[in-house]
């Protein structure tokens, strides 16, 4: 199967368009080998692979080490094909899928033209977790952009080079066709030893305590970390822990709203976006714990301040005609040691045309917090429905903090008749 674009081709079970040259130290001969990956992404014009992958096919993970050796070759070839004026690295990505539903992603590039050293970064995505699975898909989206940027750095006069190498190498013996070998291409790779050590391996942006210690003893393998690889890894593998899906104009309005700077804006600020066919996945940082999970001593001391921030936060949304429609403690968070309150999870949010519209329809709120008229599917006023949910949250806070004043205030927000509930503008003035 092939899917072609202007610069890249996706292929499954296809051999490389040029051979790797292997030196046999026993016989002194040079032989050729054309790698074959489970799937790959290759430059159409230059024939050089930019992404290669192996889906676990051997219990002893030989394919991983073979794939990494092949990725090193591809990184060096791509570096050689660059324009002489290029200041950007040529990146190659190798992806190994394990039986444990993990995706190991390696990003490599050659350090410089004067030495063949290859730098790399590794990260692992646990695909059984939704957040890691989405992050992995996001990384593929970004890696395609990185691959296209790498191709843009290649020299137009080099497009025939690898085809010429392939033609020149045809008279040579292949690694698997030499006399007395009789091995399949995949089995022949058992000769690649020792396994490539995993050095400089980190998750997220952690730095090793002693970076030089990571390299000690492995210089002969030509695999090191580098600032270029680490910078790209930070760009690709940033690991926000909160995700939501934006699929309409309401969500786009929230994205715009999050950029507003006034102190009353307590909307969580996205860190990145991944467009998909179903909508836009929004990545957000972890910002704290639900307010009802706060240390009681902290809550007792700061309940008035927290309540004020919460009321201001919802008032800010309503002032911009946004109803959250799923206000509950889990969606109102504060750092464990205290700090700025943040509202998260706008999956049920609605943008209303004016402060006083009535709607009828199903609302995906949370039982115990959703306004009774919205839960019954009756006509409801989205902004006043938020007020009811806010009152339920305030009741829980007042109970935990032992604040009778807040409890009395919260009781005014949870009346059954939405017309008798105050507006957020009135609440912040009380």
Contact, 282 vs 245, CB < 8 A?
A: yes
Closest CA to 396 of 414, 380, 383, 379: 414
Q: Are 298 and 216 members of one domain?
A: no
**Distance separating alpha carbons of residues 12 and 14, to the nearest angstrom:** 5
Sole residue written with tokens 């006069």: 157
The 8-class DSSP code of residue 268 comes to P
What number is the average pLDDT over the span 300-326? 89
Model confidence at 321, in pLDDT bands (50, 70, 90)?
A: confident
Domain count, the chain: 2
Q: Are 302 and 231 members of one domain?
A: no
**Distance separating alpha carbons of residues 360 and 379, to the nearest angstrom:** 4
**Strand 272-276's sheet: what is its strand order?**
242-246, 279-284, 272-276
Sole residue written with tokens 């219990």: 59
**Distance separating alpha carbons of residues 245 and 251, to the nearest angstrom:** 8
Whether residue 241 is contained in a domain is answered as no
pTM score above 0.95? no
What tokens were used for 269? 């600020």
Range of the domain at 402: 289-429
The yes-or-no verdict on residue 177 having pLDDT over 60 is no
Model confidence at 74, in pLDDT bands (50, 70, 90)?
A: very high
Q: What is the pLDDT of residue 62?
A: 76
Cis-peptide, bond into residue 194, ω within 30° of zero = yes
Whether residue 14 is contained in a domain is answered as yes
Domain boundary among 197, 212, 236: 236
The yes-or-no verdict on residue 60 having pLDDT over 50 is yes
Whether residue 274 is contained in a domain is answered as no
Exposure b/e, 50-89, CB count within 10 A at least 16 = b: bbbbbebeeeebbbbbbbbbbbbbbbbbbbbbbeeeeeeb
Q: Could you give phi then psi for residue 333, rounded to 5 degrees? A: -125, 155
Question: What is the Cα gyration radius of the chain?
Answer: 29
Q: Are 68 and 179 members of one domain?
A: yes
Q: What is the largest CA-CA distance in the chain?
A: 92
Q: Are 15 and 133 members of one domain?
A: yes
What tens digit of pLDDT does each residue of 205-246 get?
Answer: 333 333 333 333 333 333 334 555 555 555 554 443 344 444
- The whole-angstrom distance between residue 151's C-alpha and the CA centroid of its chain comes to 23
Domain boundary among 236, 271, 306: 236
Contacts of 362 (CB under 8 A, 6+ apart): 377
């Amino acid at each position: 199967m092939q899917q072609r674009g202007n610069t890249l081709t996706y292929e499954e079970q296809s051999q490389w368009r040029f051979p790797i040259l292997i030196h046999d130290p026993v016989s002194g001969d040079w032989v050729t080998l054309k790698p074959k990956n489970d799937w790959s992404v290759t430059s159409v014009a230059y024939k050089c692979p930019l992404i290669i992958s192996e889906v676990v096919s051997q219990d002893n993970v030989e394919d991983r080490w073979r794939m990494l050796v092949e990725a090193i070759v591809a990184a060096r070839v791509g570096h050689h094909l660059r324009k002489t004026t290029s200041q950007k690295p040529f990146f190659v990505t190798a992806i190994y899928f394990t039986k444990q539903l993990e995706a190991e992603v390696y990003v490599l590039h050659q350090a410089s033209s004067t030495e063949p050293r290859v730098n790399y970064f590794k990260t692992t995505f646990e695909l059984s977790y939704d957040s890691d699975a989405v992050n992995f898909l996001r990384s593929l989206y970004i890696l395609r952009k990185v691959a296209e940027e790498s191709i843009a750095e290649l020299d137009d006069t080099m497009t025939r080079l690898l085809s010429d190498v392939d033609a020149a190498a045809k008279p040579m013996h292949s690694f698997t066709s030499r006399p007395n070998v009789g091995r399949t291409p995949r089995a022949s790779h058992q000769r690649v030893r020792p396994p490539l050590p995993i050095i400089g391996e980190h998750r997220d942006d952690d730095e090793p305590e002693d970076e030089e210690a990571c390299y000690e003893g492995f210089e002969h393998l030509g695999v090191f970390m580098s600032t270029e690889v680490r910078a790209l890894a930070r760009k690709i593998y940033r690991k926000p822990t909160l995700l939501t899906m934006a699929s309409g104009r309401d969500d786009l309005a929230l994205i715009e709203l999050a950029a507003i700077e006034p102190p009353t804006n307590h909307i969580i600020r996205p860190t990145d976006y991944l467009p998909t066919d179903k909508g836009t996945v929004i990545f957000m940082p972890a910002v704290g714990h639900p307010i009802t999970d706060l240390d009681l001593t902290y809550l007792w001391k700061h309940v008035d301040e927290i309540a004020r921030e919460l009321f201001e936060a919802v008032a800010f949304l309503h002032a911009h005609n946004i109803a959250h429609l799923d206000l509950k403690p889990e969606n109102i968070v504060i750092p464990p040691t205290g700090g700025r309150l943040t509202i998260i999870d706008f999956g049920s949010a609605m943008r209303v045309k004016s402060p006083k519209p009535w709607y009828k329809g199903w609302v995906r709120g949370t039982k115990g917090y959703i306004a009774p008229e919205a839960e019954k599917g009756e006509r409801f006023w989205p902004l006043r429905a938020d007020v009811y949910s806010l009152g339920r949250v305030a009741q829980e806070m007042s109970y935990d903090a032992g604040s009778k004043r807040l409890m009395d205030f919260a009781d005014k927000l949870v009346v059954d008749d939405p017309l008798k509930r105050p507006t957020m503008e009135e609440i912040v003035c009380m």
